Amino acid sequence: QGRRPQPAAGSAPDLRPLTDEVVASFGNCADPRLRRLLTDLVRTLHAYTVRNDLTPAEWQRAIAFLTETGHITTDTRQEFILLSDTLGVSSVVDALANSRTPDTTSSAILGPFYVAGPPAAASGSDIAGGLPGTPLWADIRVTDRRGAPVADAVVDVWQSNEDGFYDVQLPDLDGPVLRARFTTDADGRLTFWSILPSAYPIPDDGPVGRMLAAVGRHPYRAPHVHFLITAPGHQPLITQLFVRGGAYLDGAPGQRDTVFGVKDDLVTDFVPHTGPTPDGRPVDGEWRLLA
Residues labelled catalytic: 166, 200, 221, 224, 226
* CB 202 to ligand MBD: min, Å: 4
d(CA 161, CA 170): 10
Longest dimension (CA), the chain: 86
Smallest Cα–Cα separation from 112: which of 268, 291, 258, 210?
Answer: 258
Site for ligand MBD in 60-119 (CB under 6 A): 82, 85, 109, 111-113
User: Does 227 engage in binding with ligand MBD (CB under 6 A)?
Assistant: no
Q: Which does 238 bind (CB under 5 to 8 A by kind): Fe ion, ligand MBD, none?
A: none
**DSSP bridge partners of 193:** 126, 137
User: Residue 259 interacts with ligand MBD (CB under 6 A)?
Assistant: yes
Per the DSSP assignment, residues forming a β-bridge with 137 are 193, 288
- Shortest-Cβ-distance residue relative to ligand MBD: 111
Q: Interface with ligand MBD includes 262 (CB under 6 A)?
A: no
Q: Binding pattern to ligand MBD, positions 168-207, x when CB under 6 A?
A: ----------------------------------x-----
Q: How far apart are the first and last CA of the chain?
A: 70
CA atoms within 13 A on the CB side of 141: 9
Phi first, then psi, for residue 59 (nearest 5°) are -70, -40
The alpha carbon of 167 is separated from its chain's Cα centroid by a whole number of angstroms, namely 16
DSSP label of 104:
S
- The strand pairing partners of 289, in sequence order, are 138, 270
Q: 203 to 222, contacts with ligand MBD by CB under 6 A?
A: 221
Q: Which one of Fe ion, ligand MBD, none interacts with residue 109, CB within 5 to 8 A by kind?
A: ligand MBD
Least distance in Å: CB of 67 to ligand MBD? 21
Site for Fe ion in 82-121 (CB under 5 A): 111
Residues that bind Fe ion (CB under 5 A): 111
Q: Which residues bind ligand MBD (CB under 6 A)?
A: 82, 85, 109, 111-113, 202, 221, 259, 261
